[in-house]
Amino acid sequence: MLVMLLLVTLVAGGVWAAVSSIKRSEILVRERCTAVVGPDTFELAPDQAANAALISGIAVQRGLPARAASIALATSIQESKLRNIGHGDDAGPDSRGLFQQRPSQGWGTEQQVMDPVYASNRFYEELEEVPGFEALPITEAAQKVQRSAYPDAYADHEGEGKAFASALTGHSPAALNCVLKSADAPGDPTAVLEQLELAHPGLQASVEGNQLYVAAEDTTGWAVAQWAVASAKELQLESVAFGGLNWERASGSWSTADTRTGTVVITLAADA
């Protein structure tokens, strides 16, 4: 009996030491998501990247060019740092949400503008009314929608907007990467499907165990794959595979892999 207790204690101690070692090794991990365009690399925090993925996905839903997503992302970075904030500032005390839209100026109710899906669609509705917005400088197009007191500020985020929009609309394969700590909870397939439907509705998807299979080709496939990488922290995802490449949370990088043709394979964390 004493020998058994000693063995159990040793095993438990070994497991504790292993877990503690892993946790200690992650203390210095700085979680971030990057997008690369040409020689330039831009960075967002994971929660910002998840919002960028939703905003870009809604541009794809509406059949808009990647340029529209670039304008929207540059605008949201300037207005809210790509966070769904519930307060305004001196210039707009009632401003709310990802785009700091003001209920007093007809953008919708406070509840509506705090809904990222509603807010993104309202931004694009206004942008679509701007003649030739695709050819305008980003700061000019954004200002025609936002009517900001600081119209030149949007230009500061043009590079970030272009890089993340190009990746998240699927035009730049494997251009978005996230470095994350280990998942702290199991992934929920239902939650992933719900978020996928918000960003990229109408796609055929199925669940087998802790894997989600999404039927998508070419640009759409890369938009979905990089949406999943950008959302990996929020949705507790371990890997995303598409187009001969696989992103792994453990390595924080893309690598070559055998993948299913026309299918994005999303693997959820099985346990914390």
Q: For residues 92 and 194, state if they share a domain.
A: no
192-212 per-position pLDDT tens digit? 999 999 999 999 999 999 999
Across 181-195, average pLDDT: 97
Q: Confirm whether 25 is domain-assigned.
A: no
Within 13 A of 87's CA, how many CA atoms are on the CB side? Answer: 2
**175, 36 in Cβ contact below 8 A?**
yes
Please state the three-class secondary structure of the chain as a single string: CHHHHHHHHHHHHHHHHHHHHHHHHCCCCCCEEEEEECCEEEEECHHHHHHHHHHHHHHHHCCCCHHHHHHHHHHHHHHHCCCCCCCCCCCCCCCECCCCECHHHCCCCHHHHCCHHHHHHHHHHHHHCCCCHHHCCHHHHHHHHHCCCCHHHHHHHHHHHHHHHHHHCCCCCCCEEEECCCCCCCCCHHHHHHHHHHHCCCCCEEEECCEEEEECCHHHHHHHHHHHHHCHHHHCEEEEEECCEEEECCCCEEEECCCCCCEEEEEECCCC
Token pair, residue 82, equals: 């790509």
Q: For residues 101 and 131, state if they share a domain.
A: yes
Q: How many domains does the chain have?
A: 2
Tokens 């960003």, located at residue:
199
Tokens 């993925």, located at residue:
53
- What pLDDT does 9 receive? 38
Residue 106 has φ and ψ, to the nearest 5°, of 85, 15
Q: What percentage of residues in the chain have a pLDDT greater than 90? A: 80
Paired residues of 67 in beta bridges: none
Within 13 A of 68's CA, how many CA atoms are on the CB side? Answer: 25
Q: For residues 70 and 149, state if they share a domain.
A: yes
Token pair, residue 215, equals: 């039927």
Sign of the four-CA dihedral 101, 104, 105, 111: positive
Note down the domain range covering 208.
175-268
**222, 173 in Cβ contact below 8 A?**
yes
Better pLDDT: 147 or 128: 128
Tokens 């890089």, located at residue:
163
Q: For residues 145 and 191, state if they share a domain.
A: no
Asked if residue 251 has pLDDT above 60, the reply is: yes
Query: Of 16-20, 63-67, 91-95, which gets the smallest average pLDDT?
Result: 16-20
Q: Where does the pLDDT of residue 16 fall: very low under 50, low under 70, confident under 90, or very high at 90 and above? A: very low
pTM confidence score: 0.89
Better pLDDT: 120 or 1: 120
Q: Where does the pLDDT of residue 147 fall: very low under 50, low under 70, confident under 90, or very high at 90 and above? A: confident
- What pLDDT does 90 receive? 64
Q: For residues 203 and 99, state if they share a domain.
A: no
Token pair, residue 129, equals: 């009314």
Of 131, 146, 168, the position where a domain reaches its end is 168
Q: For residues 233 and 156, state if they share a domain.
A: no
Q: Confirm whether 7 is domain-assigned.
A: no
Q: For residues 156 and 184, state if they share a domain.
A: no
Q: Confirm whether 14 is domain-assigned.
A: no
86-129 per-position pLDDT tens digit? 987 766 788 999 999 999 999 999 999 999 999 999 999 999 99
- What pLDDT does 152 receive? 79
Q: For residues 92 and 188, state if they share a domain.
A: no
- What pLDDT does 13 receive? 44
Token pair, residue 229, equals: 């990488």
Of 125, 152, 168, the position where a domain reaches its end is 168
Across 25-29, average pLDDT: 79
- What pLDDT does 3 receive? 40
